[in-house]
Amino acid sequence: MSDVRISSHTPIILSIVAALMLSIAPMPDWADPFRPTWVALTLIYWSMTFPNHYSVGSAWVVGLVLDVAQGTLLGQNALALSLAIYVTVKFHLQLRQFPMMQLSATVFALLALYQFILFWINGVAGVNSPAVTYWGPVVTGALIWPLLNIVFVGLRRRAR
C-alpha cells in the first residue's frame, strides 16, 4: 500500500524539483528579469489540485529550499509562497471552476501577491531592484500558465 502512495506522489515531487532547478538555472542577463516563477506556478497548480497534501506547509519547506538555492534572505520566499498558497488553498474549489482565461488572471494576481511580498521584504532589508525584476515574472508566469496547466494535467493522468 505504501508503494502506491509513493508512486502517486513521485511525479509531483519531481515536478517541484524540476521547478527548483529551473529557478536557479543560468539565463542571459537580458532574459533573467523575465524568468517565470516556476516554483510558485508549480505549487499553485498542485495545491489547487491536491489541497490536502500540498498546501502551506509544503510551500514553506520548498520556499526555504528556494531561499538557500538562490542565496536570498532565509524565509523570504518561504513566507511569500506560503501566503500565495494559502489563498490558493482557501479558494481552490472556486479556482477549479474558472475558465482558462479567468484562471490565468487569478494566477496573475497570485503571482503579483507573491512578488509584492518579496518586494516588501527586500524594501525592509534595504535591497534595491528595478521594477522589471518584480513585474516581469508575474507577466510571463500568467502567460505560460495555460501551457503549464496542460503539461501538469498530462503528468497527473500518467501518474494514475
> pLDDT per residue over 96-125, tens digit each?
999 999 999 999 999 999 999 999 999 999
- DSSP classification of residue 91: T
Q: What is the mean pLDDT of the chain?
A: 93
Helix (H, G, I), strand (E, B) or coil at 160: coil
Domain spans in the chain, listed from the N-terminal domain onward:
2-159
- The CATH number corresponding to 2-159 among 2.40.128, 1.10.1760, 1.10.1060, 1.10.150 equals 1.10.1760
Could you list the beta-strand ranges (E) of 15-155: none
The model's confidence at residue 138, banded by pLDDT at 50, 70 and 90, is very high
For 60, other C-beta atoms within 10 Å of its C-beta total: 17
pLDDT, residue 118, reads 96
Measure the CA–CA gap between 157 and 24, rounded to whole angstroms: 28
| pTM, to two decimals | 0.93
Residues 6+ apart with CB under 8 A from 101: none
pLDDT at residue 127 above 50? yes
b/e code 107-131 from CB counts within 10 Å (16+ = b): bbebbbbbbebbbebbeeeeeeeee
For 136, other C-beta atoms within 10 Å of its C-beta total: 19
pLDDT at residue 157 above 60? yes
Query: By percentage, how much of the chain surpasses pLDDT 70?
Result: 96
pLDDT, residue 6, reads 53
